[in-house]
Amino acid sequence: VQADGTDGNCVTFVLHDEDHTLGNSLRYMVMKNPDVEFCGYCITHPSESKINFRIQTRGMGLPAVEPFRKGLNDLMGVCQHVLNTFEVRLLPEELRGLF
């Protein structure tokens, strides 16, 4: 969903079947980008599992979808690092690689 009258630097993404777990983590990762002016999310209603995730860049020809993609990729990298650390430090060798 793109805001009216913009050139793609202000976009609201609708994420289905998600909640605060992804919303807050992704918001944190996206806000680390210095080209992002605003990033926030809301859950439309407690009975719906849907997030409205809004990103506004500072302009400069950077579409909002780019920091969204980078935030998702960075978050996946962090999750992979946590999983790898868990496997190396806490799992016996015979169970590694099963998760």
Q: Are 60 and 35 spatial neighbours (Cβ–Cβ below 8 Å)?
A: yes
For the cut 80, the answer to whether the pLDDT of residue 94 exceeds it is no
**Number of Cβ within a 10 Å radius of residue 38:** 13
State which fold the 10-95 domain adopts.
Answer: Gyrase A; domain 2 (3.30.1360)
Distance CA 39, CA 68 (A): 10
Tokens of 81: 């690092």
Q: What is the pTM of this model?
A: 0.82
Across the beta sheet with 10-16, what order do the strands follow? 10-16, 50-57, 36-43
- What does the pLDDT look like over 45-71, one tens digit per residue? 989 889 999 999 997 788 999 999 999
pLDDT of residue 14: 93
